Chains A and B, each alone.
Chain A
Amino acid sequence: MSAPAILTPDAPIRPASRAPRPRATVQHRGAILAFVLPFGLLFALFYLVPIGYAIYQSLLVIEREGTFGQAREVFGGLTQYVLVFQNGPFWNSIARVLTFGAVQVPVMLGLALLFALLLDSPLLRGKRFFRLAFFVPYAVPGVIAAIMWGFLYSPKLSPFSNITENINFLSADLVLWAIANVVTWVYVGYNMLIIYSSLLAIPTELYEAATLDGAGQWRIAWSIKIPLIMPAIVLTAIFSIIGTLQLLAEPQVFRSFSSAVTSTFTPNLTVYSTSSIPNFNLAAAFSVVLALATFILSFAFLKFTQRKEAK
């Protein structure tokens, strides 16, 4: 028809004067804005702005004129960060959660993997029951689980008092591992389900041949299934690492069961107790360092496992 005649090959499609560089026109601009804006706005307000504000606060110091003068906030550069790096209890708490994670995360994920493989193998009957029974603790909030286990550990009230009267799980030596048990109890089933559902996505044909060749269940699990579900295991590991560094609710609850849990037991407890002094600038600096450490550690873990897979 006549319309194509207007756009001869010679005619400039866009006038050069209006667009300095060629830009593709975005179709459905209004719809895209409507889809993206609500999340974008809230994400900016409650993720990006707080991060920026925490960094800003961490760069301030409180200055007073004389001992009783008016306090005012002035720019202090990295003063708070120097304080963070000199703060022994904070670094002790970081070391404590790293020790915790080095033991608890492998144990928890090892159990989750074992259960997922058993659920996926022909060895087991009553799978529906086990899957549900193991997942139930995930419905218990961390605070409630900690309260419950606090009673179970206590020498007098525990149903296992013949054990707890002899071994004090709430002592300074053991309380960290008592908390590790609470966290494991809550999250094994959840991690098991993530791993199990990626096992379900493996086509059966992949190991039917191996079964015909006489490979046992353990051999199939080790050589076929585990390599294929590695991404799911990496994902659960990253979320567990993040969770470990952020430990707060369980130790906070345990403070009323055990005096061994101090106000600087974990990094987040340090942030909380510093902010209730109140010393918001130092607490903000703690928060920034902790968030950065979390980010670097989980990112490094991701890169490390990716490189290993590529080999």
Chain B
Amino acid sequence: MSTRVDTPIPVRPRRSLAQRMSPPAPGPRESPLARAGALIVMGVFTLYFLVPIWWLLVAATKNRAQFTGTNPLWFADFNLFENIAALLNYRDGVYLKWLLNSALYAGGGALIATVIAGMCGYALAKYRFPGRELLFNVVLGGVLVPATALALPLFLIFSQVSLTNTFWAVFLPSLVSPFGVYLARIYAAASVPDELIEAARLDGAGEVRTFFTVSMKLMFPALITVFLFQFVAIWNNFFLPLIMLRDEALFPVTLGLYAWNSQVNQIPEIRAYVLIGALLSIIPLIIIFLLLQRFWRNGLGAGSVK
């Protein structure tokens, strides 16, 4: 599969986003019927995508009696803040602990993973050394090995060195992003000119310093994309923490909510906490996506133009 990937991405003139967002007014050629059809399709699916989240939002504002007694898709008494306070106090605030754990696993893990994947991809794109193609092909194979397939063997190894049920059991494996290396390589090949590295050399800058001061800036859109993908992958990761962790205090928020949800039948009042917790847990990701959307929109394309 290396044959197709080796060629750097062709840097085509991209139509700017602003240009695409406000196209010239549709001419008479576009029939009103086709435009209405398009709008109806998109409208129906907007409901499909947003109604579940809307329901969750509404459900999180209700107290227990109103959850079943009132219109599920519209507000009754607004108890959102009381509910959040109750959630954060439940079992000594273990939910907040889970949220912090997730932030630490995903934030810290994705940051380190991005830097080391960026360095490796950059070296693969910009230096010649023996074993370079072999390394790249092995890494590409790694893209096709799903993280879940590694969870059990990782558990067996970590239990040999008594590291299961620790922070590191979930954190360390999250630092590896083969897809990040792949993306960093094609992006570095296309966006970091050799002349610039040469110029930095003539100025007496070391290779490593050049990477951190010059090249990294040019690779920034790709690095942001790698960071986001890795952040989401770690935040959503379920199998690894499920198999590694026993201690509730180490859980990420996904595992914690899963554990609560499987107790709903025994402890009915926990259902409200599951719903409010679910709502709160998706807000950080939505915020990150909104803040960084300028970057990932462009970076996503780079990965797909093989």
Contact = CB atoms under 8 A, between A and B. Distances in A.
Interface stretch (B11-19, B79-87, B89-97): B11-19
Contacts of A128: 21
B196 to A, nearest CB: 15
A200 interface: yes
A46 B139 CA distance: 12
A34 B127 CA distance: 12
B53 A136 contact: yes
A246 B149 contact: yes
Given A26-B128, A147-B274, A124 B238 contact: no
Contacts of A140: 53, 282, 285
A98 interface: no
B202 interface: no
Q: Is the interface of B mostly helix, strand, loop or mixed?
A: helix
Contacts of B306: 231, 235
A80 to B, nearest CB: 13
A118 B135 CA distance: 40
Contact of A46 (B30, B173, B289): B173
B146 interface: yes
Nearest to A238: B144
B301 A50 contact: no
B120 interface: yes
Contacts of A236: 304
B212 to A, nearest CB: 11
A27 B20 CA distance: 45
Contact of B261 (A194, A256, A275): A256
Interface string A196-240: 011011111000000100101100000000000001100110100
Nearest to B174: A46
Interface in A283-298: 283-284, 287, 290-291, 294-295, 298
B101 to A, nearest CB: 14
A68 interface: no
A31 B155 CA distance: 34
Contacts of B236: 141-143, 249
Interface stretch (A7-15, A37-45, A84-92, A167-175): A37-45
B258 A38 contact: no
B14 A200 contact: yes
A152 interface: yes
B153 A50 contact: yes
A198 B301 contact: yes
B162 to A, nearest CB: 16
Contact of A118 (B42, B46, B303): B42
B117 A141 contact: no
Contacts of B127: 27-28, 31-32, 35
B157 A272 contact: no
A77 interface: no
Given A50-B153, A295-B144, A122 B26 contact: yes
Contact of A272 (B23, B48, B243, B297): B243
B286 A136 contact: yes
Given A136-B49, A197-B300, A256-B265, A127 B176 contact: no
Interface in B251-266: 254-255, 257-258, 261-262, 264-265
The size class of the interface chain B forms with chain A is 35 or more
Nearest to A215: B29
A39 B153 contact: no
A137 interface: yes
Contacts of B53: 136-137, 140, 148
Interface in B7-64: 12-15, 17, 20-21, 23-24, 26-27, 29-30, 34-35, 38-39, 41-42, 45-46, 48-50, 52-53, 55-56, 59
A32 B131 CA distance: 12
B135 to A, nearest CB: 7
Contacts of A122: 23-24, 26-27, 30
Given A185-B49, A268-B239, A50 B154 contact: yes
Contact of B286 (A139, A211, A253, A284): A139
A284 B116 CA distance: 29
A93 interface: no
Nearest to A43: B176
A57 B72 contact: no
A157 interface: yes
A99 interface: no
Contact of A137 (B26, B49, B59, B155): B49
A32 B68 contact: no
Given A141-B281, A291-B149, A130 B55 contact: no
B46 A147 contact: no
A36 B49 contact: no
B157 A49 contact: yes
Interface string A107-120: 00001001100101
Interface of A: 23-24, 26-32, 34-36, 38-40, 42-43, 45-51, 53-54, 57, 111, 114-115, 118, 120-125, 127-128, 130, 133-144, 147-152, 156-159, 185, 188-189, 193-195, 197-198, 200-204, 211, 214, 216-217, 231-232, 235-236, 238, 242-243, 245-246, 248-249, 252-253, 255-256, 268, 271-272, 275, 280, 283-284, 287, 290-291, 294-295, 298-299, 302, 306
List the 7 shortest-distance A-B pairs measured between CB atoms, nearest first. Answer: A31-B207, A197-B301, A159-B72, A50-B153, A35-B123, A54-B153, A39-B120
Given A46-B150, A127-B21, A152-B52, 5 more contacts: A31-B127, A46-B172, A123-B30, A138-B289, A299-B144
